[in-house]
Every structure is written in structure tokens, then in C-alpha cells.
């Protein structure tokens, strides 16, 4: 023999049980509301953290690109100075080194200050 107890049936016969059941349902509703709010805030924080991670990744990539361009300029300047010292001011290869250094500087400036027009 199996006994199944339906809480609503029990509460129907007892005013005290009805009151207790109503209080339990109200408490459950409040707790569910608090849980829903916590979940919503948690999801919001996850989204913000994801955005911050993406921004940090983008910033890291931009810093790496800026370093690469500045290293390119540094190398071009070194080559120009070496060519100037060894080959002299009037040599065509020194002129090419000068042009390469100037273009490297233009690219570095364009990256570091994209909103400024080229001179």
C-alpha cells in the first residue's frame, strides 16, 4: 500500500498548514528572485570580463605592432648611418637607405598617430 501525500490536500484541511504553505511559497519566490538577480549579475560580470579581455588582447597586439614598427625604424636608421659613414653622403645606396629610413618613420608615425595627416 502506497501513501502519497499532497501538501495542498493537507493544507486544505488545516488553516495553520495553509499559513505555513503560503509563507514557504512566499519565501521560495523571494529566494528565486534573488537567485535570478544573482545569475543576471553574474552573466553581466562575465560579459564585462570578456570585453576587458578582448580590449587587453587588442591593446597587447597594438603595443607589439608599435614595437615592431619602431624596431624597423631603428634598423633603418642604423643602416643609413652605416651607409653614410662607409659610402658617404653622395652615394646612391646611402640615398636608398635614407629613403628606407624616411618611409619607416612615416609608417611608424602613421601607426602611432593615425588621426594626424601626413606632412
pLDDT given for residue 98 in this prediction: 96
Q: Where are the beta strands (DSSP E) in the chain?
A: none
- Of 100, 107, 68, whose CA–CA distance to 81 is shortest? 100
User: Under the phi-then-psi rule, with left for phi > 0, alpha for psi from -120 to 50, and beta for the rest, what region is 117?
Assistant: beta
- pLDDT, average across residues 81-108: 95
Q: Taking the CB of residue 84, how many other CB atoms lie within 10 A of it?
A: 16
Helix axes 92-112, 15-87, angle to 10 degrees: 160
Model confidence band, residue 16 (pLDDT cutoffs 50, 70, 90): confident
User: Could you read off the pLDDT of 32-63 as tens digits, one per residue?
Assistant: 999 999 999 999 988 888 888 899 989 999 99
Amino acid at each position: 500500500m502506497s501513501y502519497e501525500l499532497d501538501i495542498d490536500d493537507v493544507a486544505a484541511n488545516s488553516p495553520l498548514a495553509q499559513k505555513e504553505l503560503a509563507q514557504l511559497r512566499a519565501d521560495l519566490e523571494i529566494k528565486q528572485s534573488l537567485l535570478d538577480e544573482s545569475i543576471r549579475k553574474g552573466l553581466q560580470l562575465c560579459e564585462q570580463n570578456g570585453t576587458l579581455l578582448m580590449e587587453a588582447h587588442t591593446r597587447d597586439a597594438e603595443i607589439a605592432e608599435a614595437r615592431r614598427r619602431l624596431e624597423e625604424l631603428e634598423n633603418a636608421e642604423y643602416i643609413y648611418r652605416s651607409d653614410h659613414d662607409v659610402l658617404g653622403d653622395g652615394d646612391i645606396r646611402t640615398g636608398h637607405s635614407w629613403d628606407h629610413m624616411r618611409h619607416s618613420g612615416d609608417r611608424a608615425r602613421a601607426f602611432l598617430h593615425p588621426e594626424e595627416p601626413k606632412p
